Amino acid sequence: MYCVRSITPDILLIGGSDRRLSLFENVFPVPRGASYNAYLVLDEKTVLLDTADSAVGSHFYENLEHALQGRPLDYVVVNHMEPDHCSTLGAVLRTYPNAQVVASAKAIAMIGQFFDADVSSRCMTVKEGDTLSTGRHTFTFVMAPMVHWPEVMVTYDTTEKVLFSADAFGTFGALNGNIFADEVNFETEWLPDARRYYTNIVGKYGAQVQTLLKKAAALDIRYLCPLHGPIWRENIGWFVEKYQRWSTYTPEEKTVAIFCGSIYGNTENAAEILAACLADKGVRDVRLYDVSHTHVSELVAEAFRCSHLVFASATYNGEIYTPMDNFLRDLKSHGLRNRTVGLIENGTWAAVSGKQMAELLGTMKDMTILEGTVSLKSSVKEAQRQGLEALADVLAASLSKEEA
């Protein structure tokens, strides 16, 4: 049965939510599920903006048919060709053979890659600043390459002041009746998933996000309609400011996150001592994570959130402990920069993980590695405890300097 929601009298939300999905993109845990937002504009001509994942395909088709009320579908705007938004596109084009596809040149090419379909006779290839009038509504197309695929564009409805933002401003999580961000406790219940979504999926492309933000700043936006998660109609600037920070790799919080790779608990003991020392020195909201037990997407999100990071790793087969090595390489691939870093190493016969972590971090931009790496041989002794106290002093002083 259909479940169609009104955003404005002319604009309807017709997508669906998948609460059975365990791994988004078969990588990222989504215990709260995911929504796949598609939008229909009812004007003199009808316009479908993106489709949906096949997991919610039956609901999407029912919603589309009901919303059209027997009218033809005139246009299908493809902002993003990733299958979680376009796996139902082929069926839509077969069902509505007179619908015209509106997309960037690269998206048009990708349609032929994903589907055995030639849309050359029914497509409108658009570029930056092109417009489409459908009666009361006029749509302007804004190119947003590499946010986070090369074919991406966003669509601005100049009539209702709506930005259909593709994957930008999206978040993990199924919609639960309330479709607007002001109807939920977004900061407490949704922001961690919004941060995790951005940092892991879009995070590498900060420069391209900055370009899009500058274009968006020139628009009067009353509604922000992403392809995942709640729709924004109030306090939009608050969420845009988060994107400004994330895309410039600016920490949200002046605090310390400690990431620990421990085999038998001795490296973890050192990390716990450091966390306690930091708390004694007045550092608030210290976080400590076991990299073997916390999903790497959560770790990446926390590294983006916090200003100061400590990596505590055992030496494993003469190299960085494998989960820590994977995490650090993930941070590099996501382009993290502009952080202050402390190091703790451990090794029973050859503690080399600290040196190797420093070398890997040194290949990343704007990373300040603090002096005074704490080196353990198997377990913490008094000398190492003093080293941890000293590292806590340096971290606390650095935080105080940044806050001054």
As to burial, measured by CB atoms within 10 angstroms (0-12 exposed, 13-18 middle, 19+ buried), residue 366 is: exposed
Q: What is the mean pLDDT of residues 273-280?
A: 98
Q: What is the mean pLDDT of residues 243-253?
A: 97
Q: Is the pTM of this model over 0.75?
A: yes
Quote the CA–CA distance of 35 and 254 in Å, as a whole number: 32
According to the model, what pLDDT value does residue 404 have? 57
How confident is the model over 137-181, as pLDDT tens digits? 999 999 999 999 999 999 999 999 999 999 999 999 999 999 999
Q: Residue 353 contacts by C-beta under 8 Å, 6 or more apart in sequence?
A: 313, 314, 315, 316, 319, 320, 321, 324, 345, 346, 347
Quote the CA–CA distance of 190 and 201 in Å, as a whole number: 16
According to the model, what pLDDT value does residue 79 have? 98
**Under 8 Å between Cβ of 53 and 85:** yes
**Under 8 Å between Cβ of 18 and 56:** yes
Which residue has 């895309």 as its token pair? 247
pLDDT > 60? residue 112: yes
Which residue has 């749509």 as its token pair? 139
How confident is the model over 342-385, as pLDDT tens digits? 999 999 998 999 999 999 999 999 999 999 999 999 999 999 99
pLDDT band at 208 (very low <50, low <70, confident <90, very high): very high
Q: Which helix (H) or strand (E) holds 243?
A: helix 236-247
Closest CA relative to residue 33, chosen from 184, 186, 175, 167: 175
**Under 8 Å between Cβ of 172 and 297:** no
Average pLDDT, the chain: 96
Closest CA relative to residue 308, chosen from 378, 253, 238, 242: 253
Q: What is the mean pLDDT of residues 53-80?
A: 97
Neighbours of 103 (CB within 10 A): 25
Closest CA relative to residue 61, chosen from 96, 102, 18: 96
Q: What is the mean pLDDT of residues 125-137?
A: 97
Quote the CA–CA distance of 45 and 74 in Å, as a whole number: 6
Q: What is the mean pLDDT of residues 131-138?
A: 98
Q: What is the mean pLDDT of residues 304-321?
A: 97
- The dihedrals phi and psi of 362, each to the nearest 5 degrees, come to -65, -15
Q: What is the mean pLDDT of residues 36-40?
A: 98
- pLDDT > 70: percent of the chain: 100
Structural domains in the chain, CATH included, are 5-247 (3.60.15.10), 257-398 (3.40.50.360)
According to the model, what pLDDT value does residue 120 have? 84
According to the model, what pLDDT value does residue 123 have? 94
As to burial, measured by CB atoms within 10 angstroms (0-12 exposed, 13-18 middle, 19+ buried), residue 58 is: exposed
